[in-house]
Amino acid sequence: MKYPDFTLENKLSGVIAGVDEVGRGPLAGPVISAAVVFIDRNTIIDGINDSKKLTPQCRQVLYEKIISVAKFGIGMASVEEINSYNILQATKLSMKRALIDLDLELDYVLVDGNQPPEVKWQVKSIVNGDNLSTSIAAASIVAKVTRDRLMQELHNKHPEYNWYKNKGYGTKEHLNAIGLYGITEHHRRNFAPISRAL
């Protein structure tokens, strides 16, 4: 298996942040973005990869390693913001907030995908970036662990939807629970399965 590396970062100079988001597709919960900067790109953390390719246990171990050696910021766009704007604009907002939370003067921002936020730094959109750039892959891990923890907290308030397991995604179990119990303030009202349930 090929792992992300610092090739993209090393082609640029200065302080470079990798940015990725988690939670664009779920029917419930916020979208979370993370921005990660490895000040010392000689730092090697074995196993960093796109968060979707890692087990929850592996993500947790890597998360702890990443936050111990890298600078990071977290940004969130709430369900209310997703409902008010749309998921794309809310995602960009969460990315921008992650960069603000990072609180570093940056030279470049590497963003996974092709829909970067408008920010004051030079931005490079990298399709499949979480498979190519260590900084972006690390951001995907930090964002995923952060969002999973948040969904666990929401699960404790609404266990009937089993968000601990499905993380708010539209699984059959989640859709059945919506049919039985209706929706909560944490559901995205402008997503089709939810808007049909209203």
The response to whether 20 counts as a known ligand-binding position is yes
Q: Residue 109 belongs to what domain range?
A: 4-194
101 labelled ligand-binding: no
CATH number of residue 181's parent domain: 3.30.420.10
Statement: the pTM of the whole predicted model exceeds 0.85: yes
Structure confidence by residue, pLDDT tens digits, 83-133: 999 999 999 999 999 999 999 999 999 999 989 999 999 999 999 999 999
Query: Is position 112 annotated in a ligand binding site?
Result: yes
Based on the structure, what is the number of domains in the chain? 1
Q: What does the pLDDT look like over 145-167, one tens digit per residue?
A: 999 999 999 999 999 999 999 99
Residue 89 to residue 161: CA distance in whole angstroms: 26
